[in-house]
Structure 1
Amino acid sequence: MKSPLCGETAFKFDDTVLRQGFLLCAYELARGVQKTEMALWVIATDSLQWHDGLRGLSIDLCNLVTWEAKMENQVLETNLCEDAILEWQRTQYVHDQRNHFDILSLHKQDRLKHYAMHMAKYAGRVARGAREAKSIERTFTDALLVSLSAANTLHQRLSYTPNQSNEVFLYRITDAAGRMNDACEKIDHLEPFLDQVTIGNQDIFNCLLDLATERNFNPENALEHRRKELSDRHFYIR
């Protein structure tokens, strides 16, 4: 039998090695890799098997290309996310200098206590559910801003590792906020606190971005909009 594509004699489709070889060649070509020595062999024994075989190969090929695209996007998104997070922290520092100088001028230990109390407040908002006047997106944004400020105080470079817990958001933010407050209470007792408050802040940051994915929030837009609102309050500052 002649191949419908290249006019060469086709091999039998039940040869797994040949089928994988065909798929690899097609996959490389689909990715735009030019290999002059590469030849496409149509694996079929009759026109019906040719049709079914090509359809099966097309499905496999699409799956492979889609899988690689997803993997490349994940790497790209991870790199962009790391860069974006660092930019968020830098922008938050400038924002705090202008709009929250009263807090920024506090001793770092007092600043951390302030941020920890904020997190407890946000956990309370989430716990109230429908009885809370402020939306979950507003609470998400406020908590994200404070997490960035706390990270800057701690000299902590935040990162995002998704799906670190299967627990619901209320449990995760309450647990982490409790640990942050526990750590800050240790300050007054001259007990070690730094690792605990740092881990707690990172856990809050992770659960916030997990929530953003789940609820389809846009952190970049949310941060920009909320910062603008807070900046407008201080109309007397240039």
Structure 2
Amino acid sequence: MDQQPYQSDNLPVDGASLAFPEAERQAVYRAIYQRRDIRNFRPDPIPDETLARIIRAAHHGPSVGFMQPWDFILVKDLERRRKVKDLFNRERASAACFFDEPRRSAYLSLKLEGILESPVNLCITCDPTRAEVVLGRNSMPETDVYSTCCAVQNLWLAARSEGVGAGWVSILKLPQLRGILGIPPHIIPVAYLCLGYPVEFTDEPGLQRAGWRRRLPVEELLHFDDWNGGASDGEWQSFRDALGSEAERER
């Protein structure tokens, strides 16, 4: 049975009263900031109860028009996973040609999957035909895929809170993946994930740690009122100050 949303009888009815208690709030942010794309797994199996909680959290992701376009294919079969690993190896070799040296060698040295090492793989798909007419989707039909990505993120954060790692394997051709998993042609494979207990949760993302890319400062990605920053400096100054304080806290 679904748990009821958090309610408090001790706070006045205003915006602040809807917030979680401080410890619970910090736990949410901890899961967000400590989520990692995991590639190295321990062989320990995930208990069924834990995996069930994680899958159910994914199913509670937001979706446009409450479409719920996702399906979940859980994969333990080793032979099937070997086929996915072979597909990954072929696509990884093909992708290497897009890089010049020394970037190509750096790319090939990266550990980018744990298909065989993780105890279970999971493919999350999108069914664009789940409902004939979906509220809010007429103008932006791609929102079925966007909604599925929300389910992926719910799963990822729930997994982190359980001490379970998830790694997204995107170097896969969809037609071949459909064939391996028996996915109908109209169904879109959105995310192929490796799930399991990680060797470690690192302090920073693996690609950042390897020097592949740095995290962009959020200040460089903000626009106020329009793309060209049409707002005057004073209108958003208090927000900028708050953002700077949060940046200091992160460091």
Q: TM-score higher than 0.5 here? A: no
Q: Which one has the bigger strand percentage?
A: 2
Would you tell me which structure has more helix in proportion to its own residues? 1
TM-score (norm 1): 0.23
TM-score between both structures, scaled by the size of structure 2: 0.22
- Point out which structure has higher relative CO (alpha carbons under 8 A, 6+ apart): 2
